[in-house]
Amino acid sequence: MLASRTATRLWCWRGARLPRARHLHDLHKHPQSRFLQVSEEVRDAVATGKPVVALETTIYTHGFPYPENIALAQLLESVVRDNGGVPATIGILGGVARVGLTAEEMIELASTAEQKSALKVSRRDLGYICGLGLAGKKIHGGTTISGTMILSELAGIKIFGTGGLGGVHRGGENSMDISADLTELGRTPVTVISSGCKSFLDIPRTLEYLETEGVCVGTFADGREGSVDFPAFFTRDSGIRSPRVIQDEAEAAAIVYAQSQLPVHSGIHFANPVPREHSVPKPEMDRIIEEAVRLADVEGYKGSDNTPFVLGKIKELSGGKSVIANRALVESNVKRATRVAVELAKLED
Ligand code: PSU
Ligand code: MN
């Protein structure tokens, strides 16, 4: 069943016949070769029901410094493989949306971090960058959670592991700066595993927004009883209770499976708190984040430039400590994501 659905989808990409009605995007109506390419390994893995894990690239183009971003990209792919999955790093290379970048392509994309020459690509930017690619402008782009979810769904990938989710920004009730990640989770059936969102965002409003969007939000408790905090990226505690709690990967996969069988077409967010040994003490992080947010305000970094600026300042103000914690938590999230994908593949078998 799964294989035949995927085969139909692949056939559609080649433009052989009209695809079934979909509410999201038109990329699939065009020949796969023009501005969408899914690697053979990923296509084969999806078609044969192997556990595939999507990985985003804004984290390399706008999140991590060069050349650590290249080491991180390689590490994350090997974490997926070591845990029995197939990695699918997703990004835009020369105006072509790519699902399953090769090692060389990933280096090319990650190398743009130095010059900041790649575009940060969320839902609104996909048509723009791919269209300009068709028109002869070969721009590179790092896909955000939102952009990566759209391309994951298109390729038939259900599980996606990353660092941190975008959210409602502080003061968002006035600026209306609400990450497109949240609305994407409301409309695209992909499960995102991250360490929650950084506390430069307004976490209570972020959770409210996700509820309105119909997004199931659960935090891994690993045997802890009772309520659990929704994590704040560098710290396990945020002071804000997670709407739902899940104990392990088998429970997470069962939820993904059940939701896929129900007429609920939204995404899921599973939060995986930073490993204890790498969590940064909350008061220390709070101070750094306050200062980073203040500077972004003073220097006028708004819109899609806000998150990268604040992330950069946090890095600077924490003396690189944030980068170490960041790497550890992404690695742990990707491992979780792979285990969820492995459990899900068993359920779908
Ligand atoms: N939060 C992080 N690290 C990141 C991002 C968010 O801690 O790298 C990236 C992700 O790609 C996320 C995007 O999807 O930033 C959200 O950006 P914005 O706030 O502009 O929606
Ligand atoms: Mn924003």
pTM of the predicted structure, to 2 decimals = 0.91
Catalogue the active-site residues.
56, 198
Q: Is ipTM beyond 0.90?
A: yes
Residues 6 or more apart whose Cβ sits within 8 Å of residue 29 = 12, 15, 18, 19
DSSP per position, 20-32: PP-SS-SGGGS-H
Ligand nearest to the CA of 123: 1
- Tell me how long the chain is: 349
> What gap in Å lies between CA 31 and CA 327, rounded to an integer?
37
Task: Specify the residue with its C-alpha closest to ligand 1, atom 11.
Answer: 144
Q: How confident is the model at residue 26 (pLDDT cuts 50, 70, 90)?
A: very low
Q: Whose CA is nearest to atom 8 of ligand 1?
A: 59
Exposure pattern of 305-336 as b/e (b: 16+ CB <10 Å)? ebbbbbbbbbbebbeebbbebbbbbbbbbbbb
* Ligand nearest to C-alpha 63: 1
Confidence band of 56 (pLDDT split at 50, 70, 90): very high
Q: Which residues line ligand 1 (CB under 6 A)?
A: 56, 58-59, 63, 144-145, 163-164, 166, 179-181, 198, 233, 304, 307, 311
Q: 225 in helix, strand or coil?
A: coil
214: left (phi > 0), else alpha (psi -120 to 50), else beta? Answer: left
Least confident of 19-23, 138-142, 300-304: 19-23
Nearest C-alpha neighbor of 195 from the set 242, 158, 154, 157:
242
Residue 33: which pLDDT band, with cuts at 50, 70 and 90? low
C-beta separation of 343 from 337 below 8 A:
no
Q: Which of 58, 289, 293, 322 to mutate to test the pocket of ligand 1 (most atoms within 8 A of CB)?
A: 58
Q: Which ligand is nearest to the CA of 165?
A: 1
Span 281-310, average pLDDT: 93
CA distance 327 to 209: 28
Burial of 135 (0-12, 13-18, 19+ CB in 10 A): exposed
pLDDT digit string, tens, across residues 220-247: 998 888 899 999 999 999 999 999 999 9
d(CA 59, CA 258): 30
* Ligand 2 centroid to residue 169 C-alpha, Å: 7
Partners of residue 244 on adjacent β-strands: 218
How do residues 65-81 score in pLDDT, each as one tens digit? 899 999 999 999 999 99
pLDDT tens readout for residues 112-165: 999 999 999 999 999 999 999 999 999 999 999 999 999 999 999 999 999 999
Residues that place a CB less than 5 A from ion ligand 2: 177
